[in-house]
Structure 1
Amino acid sequence: MSQDSTLLSATLTSASFLVLLQLFSRLFTFILNQALVRLVSPQVFGTAAIQFELLLSTILFLSREGIRNALLRAPTSTKDSGKKDDGESAGAGALVTNISLLPVLLGIPTSILATLVYLRTASASTTSQPHFHLAVAIYALAAFCELLSEPLYIRAQNELRFDVRVRAEGAAVALKTVVAFAVLVALPAEWALVAFALGQAAYGLTTLVSFLRAYRGRSLFWPRKVETRVHGNTKAMYFDPALLHLSAEMTAQSVVKHFLTEGDKFLVSRLSPLADQGGYAIASNYGSLVARILFQPIEETARVFFSKTLSSASANSRDALQMASTILLALLLLFTHLLLLLVTFAPPYLSLGVSLLLPPRYLNTSAPAILQTYIYYIPAMAFNGVLEAFFASVAAPSDLRVQSRWMVAFSMGFVAAAVAAARGLGMGDSGLVWANVINLLLRASYAWRFVLRFFRERNAGEMVSWRKAAPPMPVLVAFAMSALVTRWSQAMYRDVPLRLNAQLGHVGIGMMCLIGCLATCIVFERTTFRHMYTVLRRR
């Protein structure tokens, strides 16, 4: 098999593994969350799921995200070379290993600083909860424990050993939810925050132990000097200069990107009471369930694939460009169909779904209104994720600096729009999500312009266009007709109780419309699907 074929095969295997991992972990978490939200108050759930998770993601994202993305461009190692001892590794591999240790070193000051800032800025109603400071300390330690596994995570990614990550994260998610649930059941309600913190600590420890077991404990935590030959001369260095520079650029950009990604949680934690934070958290968990199961693995594997396929050595190869454009357009076409499905079928059936899923005490929070906005937030997240994955895979440091300046502008616009929507227009927490939708679409548009320029500069502009990512007209008509029929059905059942047995006719109409839309897609898009399947199979 050629190198491109091997890479695509490994990437598709990675996508399958990660989708299965996300399916298992999210459904497992979803089932236990259904029990957890009935054991704790919205105030406790909001603190743990919004504020503590924001602290955790801040530590992890700022410490590792830029370095992760930069090191995806490092040469791919084989499994055999991955089994060698670090002392026997080639010089280039050792320089990459040294950079992979930086998240551990950055994690120490980041954990301390982020924790101190959070404790200083948390509201009195938050800090007055029982055992609050103990829970915060456990979360910070859990974050650093997870960072200790980062060098081995990066090593597994570059060796395309995705099974290692799947086993580690699958076990970690299971233990996290079981530990949190067990502590909540065993201890009094005042220990609820500590229960969530212990669950996160179990996640971090399990991840670290799993990676250490996979590599038999062979991990370094401090960079070592490496001798390399440059133009016939031996030179001692710690880091590969190009990769280190790229890591620094991406890490600097991650500060702005993190705020844009988690900006809604920042604002919710500052603008909303604790009960509404709990409603926002449960709506976010339910609303993004499909996104996390499907889109997160696709985004991560797309970043790996584009980074390896369009490396500097092969970026001008016609075959590499054709393969990259085919994969990119296939993903965009998939997300376009998702947008059509959500916009057509979600609004008429959301009220029934909310009444069945949400505990009664959450129906009076902001959760129902927020779930309505996720109909549009999920597709925006999908489009932005894959387009920014392409950008991060091939952008030069100069491109990253320009994007960072635009992201600063986007973040300022996001804050203004979010505050105006939440306060000025009276939209509450759902206004924050609408502001995020606009922010994601702007970022996706910027990345799409970069995609077009990237292919044009390589005389391959004809390979990418929005028309190739849009369904044919008969499919659009089928979805439009289904939208009219399901909304007519919703109006007919408006005064019927929101119970499944009472709404069976409405649900049946929706199922028939869905089958009709899927059949139309099969009939009018079978040539497109067959072409994509042939390209992938040939590779």
Structure 2
Amino acid sequence: MSKSTDEATSVISESTKGASSLILVQIITKLFTFLLNQLLIRYVSPNSFGLATYLEFLNSTILFFSREGERLAIQRIKPSKDTTRTFQSVINFGFLSLAVGVPIMLCIGYWQWHTTTFQESLLVLPFHNWTITLISGSILVELLIEPVYALYQFQLDFGKRSKFEGLAIFTRCVTTFVSVLFSSKYVDEFEGAAVASFAVGQFAYSFTLFVSYALAFASFNKVNNAHTKYSLYKLRDGDKSYYFDSEVFNIYKGFFIQMIFKQLLTEGDKLLINYLFNVDQQGVYAVITNYGSIIARLLFNPLEESTRLLFSRLLSSSSDTSKQSFTYLKLISVFYLNFCILVLFAGISNGSYLLQFILRGKWTSTNVFQLFQQYIAYIPFLAFNGILEAIFTSMANNQDMKKFSTFMTVITVVILLTSYLLIEQLEMGLSGLILANVINMSLRIAYCYQQIQTYYARHGIHFNLINIVKSTSRAIGSALVLVIVQYLLVFKGVGFTTKNFTQLVYSALLSVVLLVVLAWLERRTLKGPVLDLVSRFKRKSD
């Protein structure tokens, strides 16, 4: 085996292990975050939760613009025999995030200062100066440690990242919860204190990352036999001296521009919410996305990550692995179809009742429970878009990605106009936003499906989603039968949603029946993966 092949295998192995640890940490920390958010929602009002979500959006947007281009560009730095020079080059690029981040923060801060949300909702609250200071401080702290983060990212040291981020998320959750409890003694100023508590939690997250990476960097040179400095250091290569490799810097500039458009494409709904809805409605939307997307965050996101990794590995192989990848594509498509059937059956029937049981209190006067059903119906579109985009980006070349960027730009304009029409002109409110997101995901699903179909056609494989849907026709039929049974026997012909605990129990039993039926119908499909899992477990035991 050649040296280059060995290196490639090593990178794939490290990436695979790193992705696995990130997925595990993601599941644990997001589940923990979800549980603590559940406790917080019982204490804070929709207004406070909406403002906290608004500030989190500003924080993430500034950081994304500041460092995403640099994080992509450093992977293009070519390792040299002089490891110190290579590492110092990465450190130098890490300081670009701080250099561009401060002006970006000032510009966005000035822009937001004059908005209605800032003037009429945030600045009128007690402790708003502390809130703004803590959010600004958290951004600066993360930008200051970015050069060290970039160094470990360049080394593909995902282990440290998953450990540090897991610790930081845990710290944020606990700090926020304790701060909110402490704030409850400020009865007349609780709204402001609650929002400030979220800012305290965010600063705790950033500071934990700063300390973790700083301590790790203290031993970096000794471990790697290097002399890297935490500073912007001029590098020398023969007669040339420079701070930034010119080739990589040009790539960075291209990525920086692309990231601006990407943020506008992916965060369009949040921008609309900030401008078209009051803070209470922003809080309602934050709650339904927090609870409605828990399945996506715990299950679909890790599946997307592993699928992207698997397809990248298979399709980058020198041998023809299109048949292997196509087999996996069919398997994951069937799984998603069946799982979405179960989510729709159980979620639409019981989601609103469970949310009422969880929230209670200050949220009963909002329309969050009616909207939650609509969001559950949106989940299958969100799921299929995620998995198909993961597969498409794994097999796409540069030309394909350019076309996709153009498509996304056009779609964004169309969806923004559609959203405005549904929300403002037709006065559909948040329901209009959810419908616009359904249209958005449907168009992106159609595009990715067409591109995947074209890819396999070039390899002589016919991919037709209709055939996969037909293969699950018995599953769809079974679900429809159980919907009718539930309507007649559980809900007594009155509505399609749970109204009391007894109905919840019966509906849950029917959901279990549906799960068993789906598993039995797909027993042949499941046989291979289950046997493979059992054999792996036996090998580990031996």
Contact 1:69–1:393 under 8 Å retained in 2: no
Q: Which runs of 5+ in 2 are unaligned?
A: 221-227
Secondary structure, counterpart of 2:501 in structure 1: coil
Partner of 2:204: 202
Whether 2:217 is the aligned partner of 1:215: answer: yes
Whether 2:55 is the aligned partner of 1:60: answer: no
- Structure 2 distance, partners of 1:384, 1:277, is 24
Partner of 1:111: 105
Question: By how many angstroms is 1:286 displaced?
Answer: 0.7
Contact 1:348–1:490 under 8 Å retained in 2: no
- Structure 1 distance, partners of 2:395, 2:246, is 18
**Cα deviations across residues 438-472 of structure 1 (Å, max 9, x unaligned)?**
2233334444555556677xx6463x8355x9757
Question: By how many angstroms is 1:61 displaced?
Answer: 1.6
Partner of 2:299: 294
Secondary structure, counterpart of 1:318 in structure 2: coil
The Cα RMSD (Å) is 3.8
Question: By how many angstroms is 1:432 displaced?
Answer: 0.9
Secondary structure, counterpart of 2:522 in structure 1: helix
Contact 1:309–1:320 under 8 Å retained in 2: yes
Q: 1:251 to 1:401 in 2, by over 3 A?
A: farther
Q: TM-score, normalised by structure 2?
A: 0.81
Q: Which has the larger radius of gyration?
A: 2
- Structure 1 distance, partners of 2:100, 2:49, is 29
Equivalence map 1:299-310=2 (5 Å) = 299-300=304-305
Contact 2:422–2:433 under 8 Å retained in 1: yes
Out of 455, 461, 480, the residue aligned to residue 483 of structure 1 is 480
Q: 1:199 to 1:317 in 2, by over 3 A?
A: same
Secondary structure, counterpart of 2:411 in structure 1: helix
Whether 2:347 is the aligned partner of 1:351: answer: no
- Structure 1 distance, partners of 2:309, 2:92, is 20
**Cα deviations across residues 312-359 of structure 1 (Å, max 9, x unaligned)?**
xxx582357777767666655544443333234322222332232232
Partner of 1:406: 407
Partner of 1:84: none
Equivalence map 1:30-109=2 (5 Å) = 30-49=34-53, 51-72=54-75, 89=83, 94-109=88-103
Contact 1:183–1:195 under 8 Å retained in 2: yes
Q: TM-score, normalised by structure 1?
A: 0.82
Q: 1:101 to 1:15 in 2, by over 3 A?
A: same
Equivalence map 1:248-259=2 (5 Å) = 248-259=253-264
Amino acid at match of 2:212: S
Q: Which moved more, 1:264-273 or 1:188-197?
A: 264-273
Aligned length: 515
Contact 2:453–2:464 under 8 Å retained in 1: no
Amino acid at match of 1:129: L
Q: Which runs of 5+ in 1 are unaligned?
A: 82-86
- Structure 2 distance, partners of 1:225, 1:329, is 52
Question: By how many angstroms is 1:197 displaced?
Answer: 0.3
Partner of 2:490: 493
Aligned residues with identical type, % of pairs: 29
Contact 2:69–2:256 under 8 Å retained in 1: yes
Contact 2:346–2:511 under 8 Å retained in 1: yes
- Structure 2 distance, partners of 1:368, 1:426, is 19
Whether 2:258 is the aligned partner of 1:263: answer: no
- Structure 2 distance, partners of 1:466, 1:227, is 56
Contact 2:352–2:370 under 8 Å retained in 1: no
Whether 2:179 is the aligned partner of 1:177: answer: no
Amino acid at match of 2:56: E
Amino acid at match of 2:23: V
Equivalence map 1:7-22=2 (5 Å) = 7-22=11-26
**Cα deviations across residues 46-85 of structure 1 (Å, max 9, x unaligned)?**
1112x1111012112212223334545667x8xxx9xxxx
- Structure 2 distance, partners of 1:346, 1:63, is 39
